[in-house]
Homo-oligomer: A and B are copies of this chain.
Amino acid sequence: MDRLHPVVAGLSTTSRASAIQGCETCVVRRWSLCRPLSHDELSELARVRTGTRVLGPGSSVIEGGEEADALFVIENGWAFSHAITADGRRQILEFHLPGDMLGIEAVGRVEAPHGVETITEVALCVLPRPRLETLMRREATLAFSFACVVSRDRAMLAERLASLGRRAASARVAHLLLELHARLMQRGMAEHDNCALPLKQAHIADAVGLTVEHTNRALAELRREGLATLRDGRLTLHDRRALIELSGWDDAYLKSARLP
């Protein structure tokens, strides 16, 4: 896994000056922080952002433990945040899809506690942290909207935590697949029974706390039982009901409900 420095990686296919473009027509606005903002607030936010940065697959967006000078909104592509344990093993905390924010765990602190890395090529809306925080201290709607985003994020982590703590291997994998599919559906990025899923088995393993080998066995079981197939970057859900039954899936935690 090649870890390019964010700046270097960023420059490789670098920032188009789309800062000029307004936030109102942003394709991910509906799923992002910006949804509830008024016209005036949006134009203020548009002045905060410094443009779009495009990173290649497998590049580092935020280095864990280092100072994070910007927050990001994914305009396109997949990423994940992760912790590295003292003995070098990796735990994926969350997968990030278009409209998600990166770096929210750095707010209110100096260093980013966790690293963020791209999976596919990713286009990021760059929001320099000092300027964004200044604006949030002035615009209550933005700050509250931000709090709602973090709160939803927290709920997803809690759900994953319950999964790792109290479910067997195949149930954990099934739960993750259902979650990703549901989140893609919300964004119109999935059919009712299938979607593109650019994850390696190693990603899934690190997300659900299993080894790659055992994750493979769990996926094989799901396939053998006719529940779901993950192949060539595409997930197909053959028996949604059985997957839900197996994993104890409940989509309530994904419904961010009534943002202002």
Mask, A103-122, CB within 8 Å of B = 1, is: 01111111101100000000
Q: Which of B110, B152, B160, B162 contacts A258 (CB 8 A)?
A: B110
Mask, A155-199, CB within 8 Å of B = 1, is: 101111110111100000000000000000000000000000000
- If A137-B140, A140-B137 touch, whether A162 touches B109 (CB-CB below 8 Å) is no
Task: Report Cα–Cα, A146/B208, bound state, in Å.
Answer: 30
Contact across chains for B93 and A162 when beta carbons are under 8 A apart:
yes
Min C-beta distance of A120 to chain B, whole Å: 23
- If A136-B140, A140-B140, A253-B113 touch, whether A209 touches B154 (CB-CB below 8 Å) is no
Contact across chains for A248 and B87 when beta carbons are under 8 A apart:
yes
Task: Report Cα–Cα, A141/B147, bound state, in Å.
Answer: 12
Min C-beta distance of A229 to chain B, whole Å: 24
Residues of B within 8 A of A159 (CB): 83, 113
Residue A150, interface by CB 8 Å: yes
Residues of B within 8 A of A206 (CB): 165
Residue A31, interface by CB 8 Å: no
Task: Report Cα–Cα, A164/B163, bound state, in Å.
Answer: 10
Task: Report Cα–Cα, A85/B143, bound state, in Å.
Answer: 33
Residue A226, interface by CB 8 Å: no
Residues of B within 8 A of A85 (CB): 162, 166-167, 248
Min C-beta distance of A138 to chain B, whole Å: 6
Contact across chains for B111 and A252 when beta carbons are under 8 A apart:
yes
Residues of B within 8 A of A164 (CB): 161, 164-165, 209
Contact across chains for B153 and A154 when beta carbons are under 8 A apart:
yes
Interface residues of A in 86-105 (CB under 8 A from B): 86-87, 89-91, 93, 104-105
Q: 9 closest A-B pairs (Cβ-Cβ)? A: A165-B209, A86-B248, A108-B148, A143-B143, A109-B257, A91-B162, A140-B140, A83-B162, A147-B147
Can you list 17 contacts pairing A with B, beta carbon distance less than 8 Å? A85-B166, A86-B248, A86-B250, A108-B147, A108-B152, A113-B155, A113-B158, A137-B260, A143-B143, A143-B146, A143-B147, A147-B147, A150-B151, A150-B154, A160-B161, A164-B165, A165-B206
